[in-house]
Amino acid sequence: MQLQMDATSLDRFLAEAFPQVADDFVIETVGEELVVRLLVGHGHLRPGGTVSGPTMFALADVGIYLAILARIGPVALAVTTNASIDFLCKPAAGRDLIARVRILKLGRVLAVGDALIFSDGDAAPVARASMTYSIPPK
Amino acid sequence: MQLQMDATSLDRFLAEAFPQVADDFVIETVGEELVVRLLVGHGHLRPGGTVSGPTMFALADVGIYLAILARIGPVALAVTTNASIDFLCKPAAGRDLIARVRILKLGRVLAVGDALIFSDGDAAPVARASMTYSIPPK
Amino acid sequence: MQLQMDATSLDRFLAEAFPQVADDFVIETVGEELVVRLLVGHGHLRPGGTVSGPTMFALADVGIYLAILARIGPVALAVTTNASIDFLCKPAAGRDLIARVRILKLGRVLAVGDALIFSDGDAAPVARASMTYSIPPK
Amino acid sequence: MQLQMDATSLDRFLAEAFPQVADDFVIETVGEELVVRLLVGHGHLRPGGTVSGPTMFALADVGIYLAILARIGPVALAVTTNASIDFLCKPAAGRDLIARVRILKLGRVLAVGDALIFSDGDAAPVARASMTYSIPPK
């Protein structure tokens, strides 16, 4: 596997394409596996201090999207067509979330990846997600 | 099917349990089908003016959750355990989203519902979602 | 919506493309909704007399596939790319299964449909499925 | 993680609980990861020689089920409540399928696992599946 983009260029892409949310994410590793951290803030929480479902969805979506871009280069128009997510246990309060992403298929029109999401420092995942992206013709 | 909560009591529950997001949603119909409107605002948009995936996820999640509560009464601890969502086409810019929800299973420990999401006024759905909730023992 | 194939031509297609399983299915209605019956036989059962999960998967797959073909004509190469299925309750022993199918998206490269599956004669569904198909270029 | 059942006792369980299909499967590894082989036969094929979708569904279902039983002991009544599957590419003709399974959650009432499915000898997966099982109270 040859990568077209490294963490710096993915960061720059994220800031330009998704300025509203780019500051929430830190790309930690780009390689066979991509690791992205969500800096959990007040806006991500539900009463009781747990991270909301849509926030975990967004983390998986960003992570898998970036892992695809790392392989095919910046394609702002790739869109999520399907997502499946299992919420396994309640995230720990007051901790960042870490998504570990792998790409399972990189086709001409469809790409598929999955992610495990962890509370920072924990060994058991809090969520699992798989997503499909439609890649526009060049 | 007998309902335990009407639109007014669901509204009040939403305001108390999810104060951060309650103002985004308007419950339009509660019955065999529940209809909820997302008042699309700037924070829900992606560049280009389209509603973000996590926002559509949140709409389906809130809608199915409320449809379950309408049937079993206020159970703040019911949690989403699984979600599957298909993004079918790009939502129309500058329009609210409408989720039409039905409950498919209401068991002792699990409840399942699905939702079709529409751009307000359109006949073709922009997304389909199904979600499972775990209901805590009483 | 204009249909390209009716029940007779779908039946003939099924017999030619899937001779191993075609005799298990009866296409009952083709229209906005497609209804297909699975003639439950010994090979579909698990111990206890309940229909197996893979059998319900196959029923939803065949039903959604046929509903797509009814709209686009015989395209033997359309392939399932994603499936999500919720098993809601145990099917009644000794009864056929009925799948009620609707098509939610019919795009140039992707089509999405969903199905509710019922034990014949029951009002509550035993399973819900949604599936995506990739349509080959002409 | 402590295992309650090894390959031999899982094999015996499979033969007793699912006599119709037990001969199709060979349990190769039981540990943190469980590996199960499907001996692909004529009945699993679609025209063109490719393995059918329901067959891959069944392989993932059996594999994840066995991996849960390996951890909790023989519980014949655990039932699949949700499955999500991505078909990534066409399996190679004339080769067995291998499922590599991991358990992501083992709760009191729900267990979640996922599987990657490979054509024997290939490095790229042909399918990905995640499934949830409801565990009956003891």
Per CB-CB distance under 8 Å, the chain C contacts of D82 are: 84-87
Q: Is C82 on the interface with A (CB under 8 A)?
A: yes
Residues 6+ positions from A92 with CB-CB distance below 8 Å: A119, A122
Structure ipTM: 0.94
Residues 6+ positions from A47 with CB-CB distance below 8 Å: B17, B18, B19
| Average pLDDT of the segment spanning C72-92 | 91
Query: Lowest mean pLDDT: which of A14-18, A51-55, C102-106, C113-117?
Result: A14-18
Q: State percent of chain B over pLDDT 70.
A: 98
Based on the number of CB atoms within 10 Å of its own CB, is C87 exposed (0-12), middle (13-18) or buried (19 or more)? buried
Interchain CB distance below 8 Å, C58 and D58: no
Nearest residue, CB atoms, C104 vs list B107, B125, B132: B125
Predicted pLDDT of residue A19 = 84
Tokens 């059998």 belong to C55
Predicted pLDDT of residue C76 = 66
Predicted pLDDT of residue B78 = 84
Specify whether the CB–CB gap between C111 and C135 falls below 8 A: yes
Across the C/D interface, how many CB contacts are shorter than 8 Å?
66
Residue of D nearest to A117 (CA): D104
Tell me the shortest Cα–Cα distance from B82 to chain D, in angstroms. Answer: 8
SS3 A31: coil
Q: State percent of chain B over pLDDT 90.
A: 78
- Starting from the edge strand earliest in sequence, which strands make up the sheet with D97-106, in order? C25-29, C33-38, C97-106, C110-119, C127-134, C79-87, D79-87, D127-134, D110-119, D97-106, D33-38, D25-29
pLDDT at C86 over 90: yes
Query: Lowest mean pLDDT: which of A96-105, B24-33, D9-18?
Result: D9-18
Nearest residue, CB atoms, A112 vs list D88, D104, D114: D88
Rounded to whole angstroms, how far apart are CA atoms D120 and D26? 13
Listed by number, the residues of chain C in 95-134 with a beta carbon closer than 8 Å to a beta carbon of chain D are none
Per CB-CB distance under 8 Å, the chain D contacts of B134 are: 109-110
DSSP class of residue B58 equals H
Nearest residue, CB atoms, C128 vs list B88, B114, B116: B114
Specify whether the CB–CB gap between B21 and B65 falls below 8 A: no
Residue of B nearest to D130 (CA): B82
Query: Which of B56, B88, B55, B71 has the alpha carbon at shortest distance from B133?
Result: B71
Based on the number of CB atoms within 10 Å of its own CB, is C138 exposed (0-12), middle (13-18) or buried (19 or more)? exposed
Going by their DSSP bridges, the two strands A127-134 and B25-29 should be labelled as unpaired
What would the 3-class secondary structure string for C16-79 be?
A: HHCCCCHHHEEEEECCCEEEEEECCCHHHECCCCCECHHHHHHHHHHHHHHHHHHHHCCCCCCE
Distance, CA of D84 to chain centre:
13
Predicted pLDDT of residue A76 = 66
Contact partners of A by the rule of 3+ C-beta pairs under 8 A? B, C, D
User: End-to-end CA distance of chain D, in Å?
Assistant: 21
The tokens for C101 are: 């199918």
pLDDT at C138 over 90: no
Specify whether the CB–CB gap between C86 and C128 falls below 8 A: yes
Q: At what angle do helices B53-72 and B7-17 cross, to 10 degrees?
A: 120
Q: Regarding predicted confidence, which is higher, D82 or C77?
A: D82
Tokens 């806006």 belong to A43
Residue A96 φ then ψ, to 5°: -65, 160
Q: Is A81 on the interface with B (CB under 8 A)?
A: yes
Rounded to whole angstroms, how far apart are CA atoms D135 and B109? 11
SS3 D120: coil
Predicted pLDDT of residue A48 = 73
Rounded to whole angstroms, how far apart are CA atoms B2 and A126? 35
What's the pLDDT tens digit per position in A47-104? 777 899 999 999 999 999 999 999 999 876 789 999 999 999 999 988 999 999 999 9
Rounded to whole angstroms, how far apart are CA atoms D132 and D105? 9
Residues 6+ positions from C102 with CB-CB distance below 8 Å: C32, C33, C34, C67, C113, C114, C115
Query: Which of B17, B13, B15, B39 has the alpha carbon at shortest distance from B26?
Result: B39
Residues 6+ positions from B16 with CB-CB distance below 8 Å: none
Rounded to whole angstroms, how far apart are CA atoms B38 and B52? 12
Among D79, D106, D110, D114, most B C-beta atoms within 10 A, so best to mutate, is: D110
C46 — pLDDT class (breaks 50, 70, 90): confident
Nearest residue, CB atoms, B128 vs list C104, C107, C124: C104
Specify whether the CB–CB gap between D131 and D113 falls below 8 A: yes
Q: Is C65 on the interface with D (CB under 8 A)?
A: no
Rounded to whole angstroms, how far apart are CA atoms B61 and B66? 9
What's the pLDDT tens digit per position in B28-61? 999 999 999 999 988 888 777 789 999 999 999 9
Nearest residue, CB atoms, B109 vs list D84, D109, D132: D109
Q: What are the respective helix, strand and coil percentages of chain C, to the nearest 5?
A: 25, 35, 35
pLDDT at B76 over 90: no
| Average pLDDT of the segment spanning C21-49 | 91
Q: State percent of chain D over pLDDT 70.
A: 98
pTM, full prediction = 0.96
Tell me the shortest Cα–Cα distance from D40 to chain A, in angstroms. Answer: 23
Among D80, D82, D134, most B C-beta atoms within 10 A, so best to mutate, is: D82
Q: Is B29 on the interface with D (CB under 8 A)?
A: no
What is the CA angle D124-D62-A64, rounded to 5? 40
Nearest residue, CB atoms, A84 vs list C84, C109, C110: C84
Interchain CB distance below 8 Å, C81 and A132: yes
Predicted pLDDT of residue D76 = 66
Read off the amino acid at residue A127: A
pLDDT at B121 over 90: yes
The tokens for C78 are: 């359309």
Interchain CB distance below 8 Å, C81 and A110: yes
pLDDT at D80 over 80: yes
pLDDT at C59 over 70: yes
Query: Lowest mean pLDDT: which of C12-21, C44-53, D121-130?
Result: C44-53
Predicted pLDDT of residue A138 = 64
DSSP secondary structure string for all residues of A94-119: T--EEEEEEEEEE-SSEEEEEEEEEE
Query: Which of C61, C80, C65 has the alpha carbon at shortest distance from C13?
Result: C65
| Average pLDDT of the segment spanning D83-108 | 96
Contact partners of D by the rule of 3+ C-beta pairs under 8 A? A, B, C
